[in-house]
């Protein structure tokens, strides 16, 4: 599906001419990085935006900046800690008590390549925060998404999903050595499979789901990386193996460029009826299993059977920890 946008397009380019004043948008991790830029871009087009973050001070600062720069005072803040099912449940209950419906949910928050750790409920930290936390939060918000009549859920994944498929025999590194990039890649594959599974279950009820790769962007997401690792990532993104002569269409993105694909997935009319796809550079990515091809999506991340398996595995993992 060719679009007028590309690697350099910004969130403002994607949303140009749109009136989102009738939309309510929730952005997880909206207190920094591309999440904050997504909040600003949506608010600039009139949307009511809820910033969901664990750092309420930073979220408040983003809100103040958004109101000052866009003039849209219809911006709210709420607490969300994705590493705790109990806190997720409380946050979702707070949202449902304050708002009747939700048009767009952008699951933007995440952690990357961190040392081995566990969430409050004992899940491997990256899988637990990036996938399980968003899975549970989305499920708890489903009444509001269904109430909207036509809603979209955006799952932020990454080209890093190429680092690992789902290793269902040992998702949580209980018997294999922990490797931070492999664990991150598995969690990003899980994000794509979640979009596939969500779309298969709810598209006919008016809730479509899309996974996106925002691009390589220098954000607080890389706070666990050494300077040398960051430099290596920058070098790896300078050129595209499938487009080596076009520097303009590769490389590190700015924040406003990084928010573009999320905004596109959330609003593009041409995506209606196409839920379950993975997007990069504001377009549906091609399936590419060639390791020398820098872009694209691996076929294992779109596998319907694996999406259904992950859904059931996630529900089984969550079940002992929740009530109601």
| Alpha-carbon gap, residue 290 to 295, rounded angstroms | 10
User: Could you give the percent of the chain with pLDDT greater than 90?
Assistant: 84
What's the whole-number mean pLDDT along residues 5-11? 95
For residue 283, the surrounding DSSP H or E stretch is strand 283-284
Residue range 66-101, pLDDT digits in tens: 999 999 999 999 999 999 999 999 999 999 999 999
Averaged pLDDT for residues 28-55: 98
Of the candidates 44, 52, 36, 103, the residue with the CA atom closest to the CA atom of residue 74:
44
**Nearest to residue 28, comparing CAs of 40, 17, 36, 18?**
36
Domain ranges of the chain: 11-219+254-319
Q: Are 145 and 102 in contact (CB under 8 A)?
A: yes
pLDDT in tens, 134-150: 999 999 999 999 999 99
Asked if residue 304 lies in contact with residue 200, where contact means CB atoms within 8 angstroms, the answer is: yes
Q: Could you give phi then psi for residue 179, rounded to 5 degrees?
A: -130, 120
Record the tokens describing residue 92, joined without a space: 């979702």
pLDDT at res. 219:
53
Please give the radius of gyration of the chain, using alpha carbons only, rounded to the nearest integer. 18
Q: Which fold has domain 11-219+254-319?
A: Rossmann fold (3.40.50)
Q: Is 173 a catalytic residue?
A: no
**Out of 102-106, 221-225, 281-285, least confident range:** 221-225
Lowest mean pLDDT among 1-10, 147-156, 247-256: 247-256
Contact at 8 Å (CB) between 294 and 222? no
Catalytic annotation, pick one of 99, 178, 184, 278: 184
Residue 64 has pLDDT above 80, yes or no: yes
Q: pLDDT at residue 36 above 70?
A: yes
Quote the mean pLDDT of the chain: 91
- Yes or no: say if 180 and 113 are a contact pair by the CB < 8 Å rule: yes
| First-to-final CA distance of the chain | 42
């Amino acid at each position: 599906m060719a679009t007028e946008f590309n690697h350099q397009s910004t969130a403002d380019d994607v949303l140009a001419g749109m009136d989102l004043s009738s939309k309510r948008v929730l952005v997880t991790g909206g207190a920094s990085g591309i999440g904050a830029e997504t909040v600003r871009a949506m608010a600039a087009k009139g949307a009511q935006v809820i910033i969901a973050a664990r750092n309420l001070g930073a979220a408040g600062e983003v809100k103040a900046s958004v109101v000052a720069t866009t003039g849209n005072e219809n911006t709210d803040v709420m607490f969300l800690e994705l590493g705790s099912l109990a806190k997720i449940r409380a946050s979702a209950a707070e949202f449902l008590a304050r708002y009747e419906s939700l048009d767009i949910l952008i699951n933007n928050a995440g952690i990357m390549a961190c040392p081995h750790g566990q969430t409050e409920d004992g899940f491997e930290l990256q899988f637990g925060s990036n996938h399980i936390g968003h899975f549970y939060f989305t499920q708890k918000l489903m009444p509001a998404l269904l109430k909207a009549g036509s809603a979209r859920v955006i799952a932020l994944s990454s080209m890093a999903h190429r680092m690992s498929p789902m290793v269902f025999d040992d998702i949580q590194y209980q018997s294999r050595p922990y490797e931070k990039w492999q664990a991150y890649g598995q969690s990003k594959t899980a994000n794509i499979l979640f979009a596939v599974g969500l779309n298969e279950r709810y598209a006919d009820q008016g809730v479509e789901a899309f996974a996106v790769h925002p691009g390589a962007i220098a954000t607080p997401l890389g706070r666990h990386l050494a300077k040398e690792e960051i430099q290596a990532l920058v070098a790896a993104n300078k050129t595209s193996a499938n487009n080596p002569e076009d520097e303009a269409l590769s490389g590190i993105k700015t924040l406003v460029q990084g928010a573009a694909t999320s905004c596109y997935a959330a609003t593009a009319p041409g995506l209606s009826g196409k839920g379950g796809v993975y997007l990069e550079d504001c377009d549906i990515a091609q399936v590419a299993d060639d390791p020398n091809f820098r872009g694209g999506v691996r076929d294992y991340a779109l596998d319907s059977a694996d999406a259904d398996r992950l859904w059931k595995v996630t529900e089984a993992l969550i079940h002992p920890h929740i009530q109601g």
